[in-house]
Chains A and B, each alone.
Chain A
Amino acid sequence: MPAVWMLSDTETWRVAGHVRSLGRIEAEVVPGDVSRGRAFYEGKAGCAACHIVAGRGTAVGPELTDVGSRRGAAQLRESLTDPEAALPERFLLVRLRTRDGREAHGQRVNEDVFTIQVRGDDGQFRSFRKDELADIDRQKGRSSMPSYRQLLGPAELDDLVAYLSSLRGQQ
């Protein structure tokens, strides 16, 4: 793509703003109660143990501060009931074994031909040269997130989806 030499700064910002808006999901009316959903999120569902919303929580899974603007209600529901059917692009769990018998498991955060970087289940980043690895088990389609199908009733699920849909980041 060529540099946008033909546009002024103001025009560039307008185009950027439009392109950015294309990826945003419009707010939709969903069944469920946002405040009850928030209570489930922070309490019984334990979501904050793995996700960050508005600065609070722990970063094991993706940040959810603006998840409602990136995912529709149906997709959010699916990621709760069947997380492995709704994985984000490039998400991959890996189990690595080095030639000298050490193992690491976690989320791949980056990879090139020669190296791979993993955020382990303990939250620590680790980097490996591939020539020191005996095996890379690419757990495609796997997620460390549990299904909430059995943990929450239908009404609770509606509430949680309503809460997640309401998370739209900075407007």
Chain B
Amino acid sequence: MKAAYARPIALALALSSTTVAAQVSYRRIVAADREPGSWLSHSRTYGGQRFSPLAEITAQNVSRLKPVWMFQAEAPGTLQTSPLVADGVMYLTEPGSQIQAVKALDLRAGRLLWKYERALPKELLTLGFGRTNRGPAILDDMLYVGTLDAHLVALDIRSGAVRWDVEVASNKTGHSITAAPLAIDGKVVIGISGGEAGIRGFLDAYDARTGARLWRHWTVPAPGETGSETWSGESWKTGGAPTWVTGSYDPDLRLLYWGTGNPAPDWNGDVRPGDNLYSNSLLALDPETGERRWHFQFTPHDTHDWDSNHVPVLIDAPFRGSARKLLAVANRNAFFYVLDRATGEFLHGSPYAKQTWAQSLDARGRPLVRPETEPSVEGTLLWPSLNGATLWFSPSFSPRTGLFYVAAREKASIYFKGEAKYVPGTLFMGGGERDLPVDEESGAIRALEIETGRLRWEFPLLSPPWSGVLSTAGGLLFAGTNEGAFFALDDATGKPIWHFQTGRAVSSDPISFLADGKQRVAVAAGRTLVVFGLD
């Protein structure tokens, strides 16, 4: 496949004519495998696999991989963007400080084509997380970006001009957006951050052309609604359950899958007895109405901030002898889960990292929680840590190997319980946590078997990673370390076969695409995006 500019056609100057530019239609995104050189959605496909069908770069030639160009963000902070690639252009988002920027880069040379800059309010609230952004979404001739001041903005993909700009929620109450939106059939779905500010979580869908809100799905039910019995008193109003990591979508089943975060306050569950539905859950929603079709709660009544905000990975594979439509999640709570994504049926769950909070999962996937694991005044030592066994960064599934890959964190926290008083626009956490000495920490890239969760192989890391994982049809797995290495492993064995020192910690999700008909792999490290190729 050639990039769009590989064969420029002769063009006539046409005064005042309406231009006809390539459009990234919904059909193109659904059929993303037909154009493996593009990266049209957060995880490339709606299925969330972060797998590239490109196979030019292999175990045999990856030793020749070298930087082709680099991009340096103007903003301070860490680039956590997962860029998009369409029709010769890369679109990425920068972390926010006083300005939040979106940039379009020429895919061939990394040169700026346009930028959008948004002045953030000086009283901006980002309670409980960094001022980051994890990427844009694209649909037709618009690029969609969530902002730290909790707006959703639609930009013209040819110029960066604002087409529309809507306030999703007030930032004054700690609502914010760091997630990449998910653009589906005429709709832009966007999640919200603010689980540490005592927001009442929701997931929104907006009309892609006009910005009109189509539906809002509250992740904490109001009194009288199903699940409201799992809250007490007024606690639902400040119940958390934010939606701050991009979901997945099955166009055939017409189901949208989205994870929810911790109930609020984080570490003091006394004010919210019960399971606190639908926090720490996977929701399957009707994309037309936002109505819930099914849910699965990973960590009922969470008191350790173990958000279930992960990209759900959709896999069609045989499972115990029959073809199933599966959904896999390596959860922040250290368990790996496989569900039937049509029904929500629990099929499998097992730990993939050290955990000391649950005996096991029962037949329906509910954890059998060990005694004395609650945060306490004197402190409770528990694995995994506050940041969990994995976090927002993406896992990967390779149809080539049938393996699920996750960057796993081996780390404990000492959890403390404290008072929790809700004051709008302030932290509402009810305690805190303390880390053990860093010498006690480590990490690994792990390859899990889907049917059993069994560890096929692992590649040990010195420290708990913040990097997503990319698998490719070339038989490679790409990920990065806190110490700045970006590396390739053999996807079948975990053997390291290439690495490059970027100079800063990798805390982003790698992607792969074609430029000039040649495979590229890109990853952000620090505030630099590095694009690699064989020549």
Chain A residues with Cβ below 8 Å from B164 are: 55
How long is the Cα–Cα vector from A77 to B238 in the complex, in angstroms? 56
B320 within 8 A of A: no
CB distance from B62 to the nearest CB of A (A): 25
A28 within 8 A of B: no
Selected from B13, B17, B109, B161, the residue in CB contact (under 8 A) with A55 is B161
Give bound CA distance, A128 to B62, whole Å: 27
Are B156's CB and A102's CB within 8 A? no
Contact status B20-A123, CB under 8 Å: yes
In the complex, B500 has a CB within 8 A of chain A: no
Known contacts A13-B122, A110-B111, A125-B89; is-contact A65 B161 (Cβ 8 Å): yes
- With A127-B88, A127-B108 in contact, do A50 and B10 touch (Cβ < 8 Å)? no
Interface residues of A in 99-141 (CB under 8 A from B): 102-106, 109-112, 114-115, 117, 119-129
The reply to whether A59 and B89 contact each other, CB–CB distance below 8 Å, is no
A57 CB to nearest chain B CB (Å): 8
Q: How far is the CB of B139 from chain A (nearest CB, A)?
A: 15
B20's partner among A106, A109, A122 (CB-CB below 8 A) is A122
* Pairwise interchain contact A146-B8, C-beta atoms closer than 8 A: no
Residues of A within 8 A of B104 (CB): 125
**Which of A58, A110, A128: most chain B CB closer than 10 A?**
A58
Q: How far is the CB of B109 from chain A (nearest CB, A)?
A: 4
- A125 touches which of B5, B7, B11 (Cβ 8 Å): B5
Q: Tell whether, in the assembled complex, residue A126 and residue B8 are in contact, meaning their CB atoms are under 8 Å apart.
A: yes
Say yes or no: B106 contacts A110, CB within 8 Å.
yes
Residue among A52, A111, A124, A146 making CB contact with B156, cutoff 8 Å: A52
Q: Which residues of B contact A55 (CB under 8 A)?
A: 154, 161-164
**Bound Cα distance from A105 to B11, whole angstroms:** 6
| B 88-110 to A, binary, CB cutoff 8 A, 1 in contact else 0 | 11000000001000001011110
Q: Is B16 close to A, CB under 8 A?
A: yes
State the total of A-B contacts with C-beta under 8 angstroms.
117
* In contact, B106 and A127 (Cβ under 8 angstroms): yes
A89 lies within 8 A of chain B by Cβ: no
- Cα of A126 to Cα of B5 in the assembled complex, Å: 5
For the complex formed, measure the closest distance between the CB of A157 and the CB atoms of chain B, giving whole angstroms.
17
Chain B residues near A129 (CB-CB < 8 A): 108-109
B15 touching A9 by the CB < 8 A rule?
no
Chain B CB within 8 A of A60 CB: yes
Q: CA A59 – CA B19 in complex, angstroms?
A: 9
Q: How far is the CA of A112 from the CA of B108 in the complex (A)?
A: 13
Which residues on A sit within 8 Å (CB–CB) of B159? Answer: 52, 59, 63
Q: Is the CB of B16 within 8 A of A121?
A: no
A126 to B7, CA, bound (A): 10
Mark contacts of B442-478 with chain A using CB atoms, 8 A cut-off: 1 yes-contact digit, 0 otherwise. 0000000000000000000000000000000000000
Q: Among B7, B16, B158, point to the contact of A119 (Cβ < 8 A).
A: B158
B377 interfacial by beta-carbon distance below 8 Å: no
Q: A55-B164, A59-B159, A65-B161 are in contact. Are A121 and B5 (CB under 8 A)?
A: no
Known: A110-B106, A110-B112, A122-B11. 10 other contacts (CB 8 A): A9-B122, A13-B98, A49-B17, A102-B9, A102-B10, A105-B11, A125-B104, A126-B4, A144-B13, A146-B16
Top 4 A-B residue pairs of the complex, sorted by shortest distance between their CB atoms: A59-B159, A123-B21, A123-B19, A126-B5
Q: List 25 A-B contacts (CB under 8 A).
A: A13-B98, A49-B18, A58-B158, A59-B156, A59-B159, A59-B161, A60-B19, A63-B161, A102-B8, A104-B11, A105-B12, A109-B113, A115-B108, A117-B113, A120-B8, A121-B19, A123-B20, A124-B87, A124-B88, A125-B5, A125-B158, A126-B5, A127-B107, A129-B108, A144-B13
B residues adjacent to A (C-beta < 8 A): 4-5, 7-22, 87-89, 98, 104, 106-109, 111-114, 122, 154, 156, 158-159, 161-164
